[in-house]
Structures are given as C-alpha cells and as structure tokens.
Structure 1
Amino acid sequence: MKIKKPSLSFWQIFNMNVGFLGIQYSFGLQQTAINPIFLYLGAPEEMLPILNIAGPITGLVVQPIIGAMSDKTWSERWGRRKPYFLIGAILGSLCLFAFPHSPLLWFAVGLLWILDVGNNMAMEPYRAFVGDKLPEKQLSLGYQMQSLFVGAGILLANGSIVLFQYLFGGESVEVAGTIPTWLYYSFYIGAILSITTILYSVLKTPEIPPSSEELSDINTVKAKPFIERIALPFKEIIAAIKKMPKFMWRVGAVYLFQWYALFIYWQYTTPLFKLTMGYSTGEAASQSAQMSLTYNIVTMVVALALVPLTLKFGGKKIYALSLFGTAISLCTIPFISDPFLVLAPMVLFGVGWAAMMGIPYTMVSKVVPQDKRGVYMGILNMMIVIPMGIETLTFGPIYKCLLGNNAINAMLFASAFFAISGFLALRLNVSSKEKEGNL
C-alpha cells in the first residue's frame, strides 16, 4: 500500500536538499578541473576518455548496491538513507583535500577512483531520500530543487576556478608536470562544503520510519548470515531489473545518447578552446569553467520554473525540447571564437541541464514501487554510467581515427547525439499500468 506522506513546506524541501550542494560542487570540479589536471600531469588528449573511466565503473557498481542496501537499512538514530550519504561525503572530502597535491598522473587517477566511490555513495541514496519524504504532488518540486542545487554546486565550483585563476594565475603556472597552485583552493573549498552541507541536511531533516511490513523485512535481512546479506543486494538488483517498468527501458535509450554526449562535452571543452582560441591549458580551463559557470546560473534560474511547465505540458515534451536545445548549443560553440559570445549558447545548455537533472527522476519515481525506490534509483543511475563507460572505452579511438584528433569534430559529434536523445525522449509515454507501479 502507498504510505500517506504529509506535504512539506518550501523551506523544508529546501533544507533536505542542501546536502546536494556539496556533492555537486565535487562533480563540478570533476567536470572542469580534473581533465586539465590530467593534462598538466602529461596525459595526451586521446587518453582523457579512458582516464575518466572511474566515474562510470564506480557508478555502475556502487550506486545500485548502495541503493539496495539502503532499502534494507533502518536506524532509529541515523535513519535509512542518511548513513550512506554521510559516509560518502566524508570519503569525498578527504580525496578533495588530497587531489591537487597529486605528484604523478597515476596518483591523480587513483584518487579519482576513490573520489567517485564517495560521490556515488552519497548521490544515490539522496535521490531515493527525496522520493521517500515527499507525496507524489510534490515530487516535481523536490527533484527540481535538487536540480537547482546541482546548478548551485557546479556554479560555485567553476566560479571559484575562474576567480582563483584570475587572482593567482598567470603564465608562470604553465609548467609541465606541475599542477598550478591556484587550483588548490577550489578543491579545499569543495572538501569543506562536501561534509558541512550534508551534515546540515542530516540534522535538519528526519526520515520517515518504515512501515511495520518494511521493518519486518529489514529485521529478516539483519537475521541472515553475513554471506547472504552480502549477496542480497546483487539478487535484489537482478530481480528489480527483471521486473523493471518498460518506461525505464525507454529512459535508458534516451540516457544512452544523452550521457555519452555530455561526457564528450566535459572532456573536450578545454582542448576545444586551445584549438579555437589559441589558449594555453590554464586559459582554456578557465574558459571552460566560465562556460560551466554560465549554464549553471541558467540552471539555477530555470530549475523551479520548469515545475509549472512540466505540470502544464508534461515532462516528456519539456524534456525533449531541452535536449534539442542542448544539441543546438553544442553545434554552435565550435564556430564562436569570441570568449564572451561563446557563453551565449550556454543559456540553452543550462535549460537542458536543469531538465536532465530533475524531470527523469520525477517521472521514474512515480512508476516504481515505493519500497524498492532505492534500488530503482540505483538502476536509473546505472543507465547514466553505462553510456559514460561506453564513451570512455570507445571515444578515444573515434577521436583519434575518425575525428582526426580534432576537438571541434568531437563537439559536433556530441551535438548529433543530443539530437538523437531528443527524438527518443518523445517516446517517453507512461502507461496506466505503470502509473500504478508505486502502489
């Protein structure tokens, strides 16, 4: 049966999502600062995809397992989801403190693996946390509020990079094998935000206790031998995939092209600006950060405005239009050489990013069983990291052999994939049977 949940105030929904700020600050650094660090430490451009494989693999393994585990967790003191994103935040903070001190490329790559484990451990339960707390009529507001904090976190991360590069950067930082000192400060801020924002939400937002049936299931799991408890999340993931609503398979098709394209964009903006604007690595990284800064400002502005639009026109239409807009954005960037004019396409990108970070989660949360929300949110995030994994394994050879080691061609390739994802999003229809899936 569906548990009747009380409606929350705007500020209660705001407080429960504050922790997403720190998580997304960390992801913002990964989008903009990690690849320049790899380049500083001597990585060739065609190696960037494979060096980023930590994100897809850790997401594929960690998120569904943590989701399944959190479904079967309950503590009177700590709750159900909060222990997991608290531990993940601590792990992420430690890695962010260490990352800019990486002496060698292999050390930085290893830290990225640990950082991604922490971020994924924090991210997945947070998605389920919102679904746990909110009644269906407030799900759109809850997930778009997360989208707002996605924009805010990445905005702060990239704003700090731009600011510190301006204040402390210069040609003296372009030393092969050395990470510039001005990048350190952004990572230190991220380490502090990662833990403090999570703590704020943990202390401000109590979790809803499980029903008597759920509590009985949780206690049954606790009574099982240790080996069986370890194997249980894997069994639950397999069982959930077998029973997965067809709607989620259609979302997976959209995500295949959407996230493949996004990974290309994040990896190749710095090489793109080195080519189109003749920038050094540091200048190109700063320009890339300004791009991210711009689209995340737009994301913050429009995130909550998408709530009434999706209610009026439907999530499918708004989502599809946002993907087409993102395709147009990426198609124009390579042909603009002015550092200020090139920010204009980021308006469309920002609208798209706001929709991508909120609308699919709202739609999926409505069609999955309430007591399996954690594992299904983990599976949804598997649909994100699988395309990223495919990209890390395939795009390096594509970039080198088919696209002529040319970052302009890489961006146009990503634009085409976004257009395909937009057409696939038009197929996201929810059947009446699937609407009853969370009963």
Structure 2
Amino acid sequence: MFKNIKKPQLSFWQIFNMNVGFLGIQFSFGLQQTAVNPIFLFLGAPEDMLPILNIAGPITGLIVQPLIGAISDKTWSPKFGRRKPFFLIGALIGSICLFAFPLSPALWVAVSLLWILDVGNNMAMEPYRAFVGDKLPEKQLSFGYQMQSLFVGAGILLATASIFLFKDWFGGAEVITKDLNTIPKWLYYSFFIGGFLSIVTVLWSVLKTPEIPPTDEEMVEINKHKALPFKERFLLPFKEIAEAVKTMPKFMWKIAGVYLFQWYALFIYWQYITPLFQKTMDYDLSSAAAQAARMSTTYNTVTMIVALALVPLTLRFGGKKIYALSLIGVGIALFSIPYITDPSMVLIPMVLFGIGWAAMMGIPYTMVSKIVPQNKRGIYMGILNMMIVIPMGIQTLTFGPIYKYLLGGNAVNAILFGGVFFVIAAILALRLKEPKSVIVPE
C-alpha cells in the first residue's frame, strides 16, 4: 500500500502559475470549436459532413489520453518530472499544427492537420489534469480545478475574440463565398497567435512549478517498470487501462451517463452554430463565423468571471446541485438561441452557457480527483476524458444522418436537439452521489 503524501498548501499565485499553460492549450481548443468547422466549409465541405470530419478529436482522445495517463503514472525524471514532459511535447506538436492549419490548400490537408493537432492537444491535456491533482491537497482541489476553468475560459475567449476582431479589422474588403474554396486571410492571424501561445504558456508553467517527487514505494514500482522488457512495458498501459475500467468507482460510471448527453450536445453546438446564423440571420459564411466567435467570446468571458465564484457555491450547496442547475441553464440557452435574430440580443443566453461551461470544466474533475488513487490518477483522468471523447465519437458517426434525414438538414432543429440532450444530462447529474473522502490506493 502506498502512503498518502502530505501535500503543502499552495498560494494563490502558485496555483495560478501552475495553470497558466491551460491558456495556450485552450486557445487551441477555442480555434477548434469556432474556426475549424468554418474552414472546412470554406474549403467546400457540405454541412452534413461536418460531424464525420470532426472524428479526429474523439478517436485521438480515446487512444492518446488514457495511454499518456498510464505512461506518465510510471514515469519520473529528476530533471523533467512526471507529467511535464508529456504536456510540453504535446504543446509543441499543437503549436506546429496551428501555424500550418490556415495554410491548408485543400480540405484533405485541413482534415489531416486536425488529426495531428488533436494528438498534440490530447497529449498536453490529460497529464495536465493529473498534474494539478498531484500537486494540491484535497481541500484545494476545487480551487485548483476551477482555476483551470478560468484559464479554459480565458484561452477560448482570446481565441474567439481574435477571430471576430481580425474579421472587423482585416476582413472588410474580402468577399468570401463557399464556392471560392478559399480561407480568408484574417483567419490566419488567430492561428499564428495560437501557435505562439501554445508553447509559451506551457513553458511558463513547466518552469514555474516543480513536481512532487514520488515516494520510496512509488520509486520501487517505477524502477520495476523500467526493468521490464520492452514488449511488456509497451503492453502494460493497455492492461492497466482495462483493469482500471473494470474496477472503476461506481461514481465514475454515473458521470459517464451525464457526459454521454452533455458532450454529444456540445459537439452539436460547436458544429452547427455557424450554419444556424446563416439561416436565422441570413449571414454569409464569413459573417456567420464571426458571429459564432462573438457567442463563444461572450460565454467564455462569463466562464472567467464565475469560475472561481463556483468554489464557495459548491462547498455550500454541493457540487451535483450546482452542476445540474448549470446544465439546465445551457439547455435553456440552446432552446432560445434559434428564435433570436438580433445579433446583440442573441448574446444574452451565453451568460447561462458560460456558467454551465465553467461548471463542466471544473466540478466533475474535482469530484473524481477525490476518489481515485494517487498512483493511478493519470489513468483515471485519462478514463474521465475517454468519457468525453466517446460521446463525441458517437456524435460524429450518428448525427450526420440524423441531421440530414430526421432534422431536415435544418441547423435550427440541430441546436434544439442539443438543448434536449442538456436537459437529460442535468436530470442524470441529480442522480450523482458526491464522494466524501479520498480512496487510499492499494
């Protein structure tokens, strides 16, 4: 049995510096949410193909995140640490892809780069989640993960704000139609900034935050792992993931039910918010993409404002109640957006969306981090992220036909469909039984 490590309480700025890298990682994800699908449309992709073109995220997340988590659990370097080498390499891969993405000359090139970008982002994301759990004592976990939510909001806010600002500043003379199969130049700048931030912010956290060395017992296990033949070391992460899923706490299975509907619906929103504005506001593709960016900027601004405010609320009322109410709020937002045609008024529902996004990015991670073993935190954070990408994978495979044949190829119906799924997710969230204490690893 491993001994629990008594972790020192960290200051506000130590927790802040630890999470700065999320700014760059989430800038990249913000571009994926807001700019990648418009780029696919600019390059000639039909709307009903958007889900399948986004399958890179679910597949790479399903494979990369749990594997990197399992491998990082068995890694230690006195010079580089345990988690930091992985999210630094992931950020570098993502940075290179962001510089290349807007230069894509054809749809197949953009789709291929999305695959590589997703590998990098997922390689950076999973060990970063475990990194925060590794460093913080239990009473600071909620604050640490809500600080992550703040940087999630900040990164996506900067990404989406850059899109519509550059559109206003540099896109006025461009007249872009889908038939031109051309990516507007003003989109380039956002990707170039993202490429810079991806690596620089992660470097900041790497240099500012030392990792906690393994205990003597953990070092024995790490050295045993290093001594194994290559074939056994290669297969071991797969075996550990399978075993971890088999013995996973019941609470995580219930979280999986919530995530199934929550993330399916989020992927619908990100894919079809731009086509929605082409329909409800009669925008051309360029203007619709800019409006979608304004929506994302608004809800991520709210996320930044409320992320840390959720900490005392969850302590007082319980995580599941705040989580469920937040999901209901997102559902209400999606029900209202298709019926608002004023470009300014349609930003109002994004207040509810932003509160929900802050809750989604913090509360479940806090809950799970309290109940998983310290020496398997990487694996279980990877499995938690599998619960995100599996619904996304299901969505990419199923929603194209649903959109085309059941919803009449109408983006309004797609967004309303997403609202229904958020309400279902909220009902399932109310069935969660919150963890009371940390499980001691065996």
TM over 0.5: same fold? yes
Q: For 1:279, what is the secondary structure of its paired residue?
A: coil
1:312 deviation in Å? 0.5
Provide the rounded CA distance (Å) in 2 between the counterparts of 1:187 and 1:435.
Answer: 41
Checking the alignment, whether the CA contact within 8 Å between 1:272 and 1:407 is kept in structure 2 is yes
Letter in 2 for 1:154: I
Paired residues for 1:411-426 under 5 Å: 411-426=415-430
**RMSD over aligned Cα, in angstroms?**
1.0
Following superposition, the deviation at residue 435 of structure 1 comes to 4.5
- Within 1, Cα distance between the matches of 2:305 and 2:432? 26
- Deviation (angstroms), 1:437: 5.0
Q: Partner of 1:306 in structure 2?
A: 310
CA contact (8 A) 2:28 2:159 kept: yes
Distance 2:257 2:323 in 1: 14
Deviations along 1:369-426, one digit per CA (max 9) or x if unpaired, are 1110000000000000000000000000000000000000000000000000000000
Give the match for residue 373 of structure 1: 377
Residue identity matched to 1:125: P
- Shifted more, 174-183 versus 124-133: the winner is 174-183
Query: Map of 1:20-419 to 2, 5 A cutoff?
Result: 20-170=22-172, 172-175=174-177, 176-419=180-423
Distance 1:73 1:158, change over 3 A: same
How many angstroms apart in 2 are the aligned matches of 1:437 and 1:155?
A: 38
Tell me how far apart the structure 1 counterparts of residues 423 and 86 of structure 2 sit (CA, whole Å). 36
Task: Judge conservation of contact 2:371–2:435 (CA < 8 Å) in 1.
Answer: no
Aligned-partner Cα distance in 2 for 1:170–1:214: 59
Name the TM-score, length of structure 2 as normaliser.
0.98
Give the conservation status (yes or no) of the 8 Å contact 1:270–1:284.
Answer: yes
Partner of 2:21: 19
- 2:439 partner letter: E
The separation in 2 between residues aligned to 1:162 and 1:101, in whole angstroms, is: 19
Q: Is the 8 A contact 2:319 2:434 kept in 1?
A: no
2:435 is the alignment partner of 1:436:
no
Q: Spell out, residue by residue over 1:134-171, the C-alpha distance to the aligned partner (whole angstroms, 9 max, x if none).
A: 00000000000000000000000001001100001136
**CA shift digits 1:55-93 (9 cap, x unpaired):** 000000000000000000000000000000000000000
Q: Percent of counterpart pairs with the same letter?
A: 74
Please give the per-residue CA displacement for 1:295-320, whole angstroms capped at 9, x wherever unaligned.
00000000000000000111010000
Would you identify which runs of 4 or more consecutive aligned residues in structure 1 move more than 4 Å?
Answer: none
Asked if 1 retains the 8 angstrom alpha-carbon contact of 2:370 and 2:435, the reply is no
The whole-number CA distance in structure 2 between the counterparts of 1:2 and 1:338 is: 55
Question: Does the CA contact (< 8 Å) of 1:366 and 1:438 recur in 2?
Answer: no
**Preserved contact between residue 4 and residue 440 of structure 2 (Cα < 8 Å):** no
Give the superposition deviation at 1:234. Answer: 0.3
Contact 2:99–2:195 at 8 Å: present in 1 too?
Answer: yes
Cα deviation, residue 2, structure 1: 1.5
Deviation at 1:436, TM superposition (A): 3.2
Gaps of 5+ in 1: none
| Aligned-partner SS, 2:5 | coil
Task: Provide, for residues 97-149 of structure 1, a one-character-per-residue CA deviation record: whole Å limited to 9, x for no partner.
Answer: 00000000000000000000000000000000000000000000000000000
Deviations 1:339-387 (A, max 9, x none): 0000000000000000000000000000111110000000000000000
Give the counterpart letter for 2:186 in structure 1.
W
CA distance in 2, matches of 1:359, 1:420: 18
- 1:438 to partner: Cα distance: 5.6
- Hey, what's the Cα distance between the residues in 2 that align with 1:172 and 1:347? 32
What TM-score does the superposition give when structure 1 sets the normalisation length?
Answer: 0.99
What amino acid does structure 1 have at the position aligned with 2:422?
Answer: F
Task: Give the conservation status (yes or no) of the 8 Å contact 1:366–1:437.
Answer: no
Counterpart-to-counterpart distance in 1, 2:33 and 2:213: 36
- Structure-2 change in CA distance of 1:73 and 1:98 (3 Å): same
Structure 1 residue 227, shift from structure 2 partner? 1.1
1:283 & 1:311 partners in 2: Cα distance?
Answer: 42
Question: Is contact 2:320–2:434 with CA below 8 Å preserved after alignment?
Answer: no
